[in-house]
Amino acid sequence: MAYWILKTEPSSYSFDQLEKDEHAVWDGVKNPVAIRNLRAMAKGDQLMIYHTGDEKSVIGLARVTREAYPDPKKKDSNLFVVEIEPVKRLAQTVTLAAIRADKVFASIALVRQPRLSVVPADEKQWSRLLEMAGG
């Protein structure tokens, strides 16, 4: 199992909307590195949903329900989507400032490549994020 952080502007698609929908096709990823990360996802991989914009916080947990496949809405064969479902809202959000302040995250792309929308996390980083979110 792998761990990922998916970034979204809450005015475009929020964790609240994912909870309401109960299932989503995660699309709109265009960066080649982010697409490569998306294509590396496997069914059951764990996700954290990160709100960009004014919030800049990890909000909730989700999981991959269907591995990457070509985006059916686009004619570009290089664009892929995955399907996800919400797991739960975090007890407390984890801000980007708190993440940046913690040495565990010195190498995470969330900090090093702030424009990347699909970010891998290692097991230590994942565990620390869960701890910071209140378990």
- The CATH number linked to 22 is 3.10.590.10
Domain that includes residue 80, residue range: 3-132
The whole-number pLDDT of residue 86 equals: 98
> Domains in the chain: how many in total?
1
The whole-number pLDDT of residue 8 equals: 97
The whole-number pLDDT of residue 84 equals: 98
Total residues belonging to the chain: 135
Q: Can you spell out the DSSP letters for 37-101?
A: HHHH--TT-EEEEEE-TTT-EEEEEEEEEEEEEE-TT-S-TT-EEEEEEEEEEEEEEEEHHHHHH
The whole-number pLDDT of residue 75 equals: 86
What pTM was computed for the model?
0.95
131 bridge partner residues = none
The whole-number pLDDT of residue 94 equals: 98
Local mean pLDDT, 10-residue blocks, the chain (135 residues)? 96 97 96 97 98 97 98 92 98 97 96 94 98 91
